[in-house]
Amino acid sequence: MHHNDAVRAQFRLQAHTFTDTGFAAAGLDWILAELEPSPTDLVLDVAAGAAHLGRALAPHVAHVLALDLTPEMLAQGRRLAGDANVTFLRGDATALPCRDALFDLTVCRLALHQVADPAGVVREMVRVTAGRVAVVDLTADDDPAVAEEANSIERLRDPSHGTTLTLAQIHTLLRGAGAEVVSSSAHDQPVDLEDWLERTATPPGTRERIRARFAEELRGGPPTGMRPRPDGTFVHTWTMTVATTVAGTVPEPWPRRR
């Protein structure tokens, strides 16, 4: 199965869980405070899902375009948006159907870890932006062994998971795409383990493997990179990196799109 097909299948299953309460809406106040959007901003929300971030930005900006691969996620976003200042569009984040330097602010929230080609997504975000690019995502431990263990657990739970990157790797992608990193901030997000497993309909046997791995760490075993806690939660580290772009520039060797 092509990775995009796996992502669509997984998020078709999850779409109804993306409500405006609970985990799906977590961290939005932190992101808005850091971004300080302008009323003149034209905003693109890439791999938007149900456009939680795009819809949170909508009252504060000129307009938001929310793009996602999965029709069911876009439909959920439309239902939740009502008459909000958002247009929804189906599309691939690695081939954005937009001209160069169109947007003042381009954002991607909790999606980069899900894609097969994060560098391609970041290049496209930079290409279509004359202003700021903001990437909000889970970030991995700097220890490669711990990062790989966390990614293996994520893939057990959700086979469409790509790779959770380190903060340094996200910075490298942005700089490689021609952007200048100007700020980063971090947010510890508690996650309820059972809710997390339920949202992806993870099979019972796989759930037990993940629970056992967390319990092992709590007994003093090797780290999972997921920071399990005795109360049945674990902790994701979310980071937000903001970078600025140069209007009209496209990094070589990728050609300009018209």
Residue 107: beta bridge partners?
45, 134
Q: Is residue 212 part of a domain?
A: no
Q: Which of 85, 122, 129, 168 is closest to 246 using CA atoms?
A: 129
- Model confidence pLDDT, tens digit, residues 128-171: 999 999 999 999 999 999 999 999 999 999 998 999 999 999 99
pLDDT confidence of residue 152:
98
Amino acid at 126: V
Q: What is the CATH number of the domain that holds 126?
A: 3.40.50.150
pLDDT confidence of residue 26:
80
Give the DSSP H/E element, type plus range, for residue 193.
helix 193-199
Q: Which of 222, 167, 160, 227 is closest to 191 using CA atoms?
A: 227
Average pLDDT of the chain to the nearest whole number: 89
Q: Is residue 255 part of a domain?
A: no
On the question of pLDDT at 71 being above 70, the answer is yes
Give the percent of the chain with pLDDT over 90. Answer: 76
Q: Is residue 105 part of a domain?
A: yes
Q: How many domains does the chain have?
A: 1
- For the chain, the straight-line distance linking the first and the last C-alpha, in angstroms and rounded, comes to 31
Q: Is residue 31 part of a domain?
A: yes
Alpha-carbon distances of 223 from 154, 188, 205, 216, 227, rounded to whole Å = 14, 17, 21, 9, 8
Domain enclosing residue 163, as ranges: 3-147+159-191+236-244
pLDDT average, residue stretch 219-229: 98
Q: Is residue 99 part of a domain?
A: yes
pLDDT band at residue 248, thresholds of 50, 70 and 90? very low
Amino acid at 32: L
Q: How many CA atoms lie within 13 A of 60 on its CB side?
A: 13
pLDDT confidence of residue 247:
52
Q: Is residue 142 part of a domain?
A: yes
User: Structure pTM?
Assistant: 0.88
pLDDT confidence of residue 255:
36
pLDDT band at residue 10, thresholds of 50, 70 and 90? low
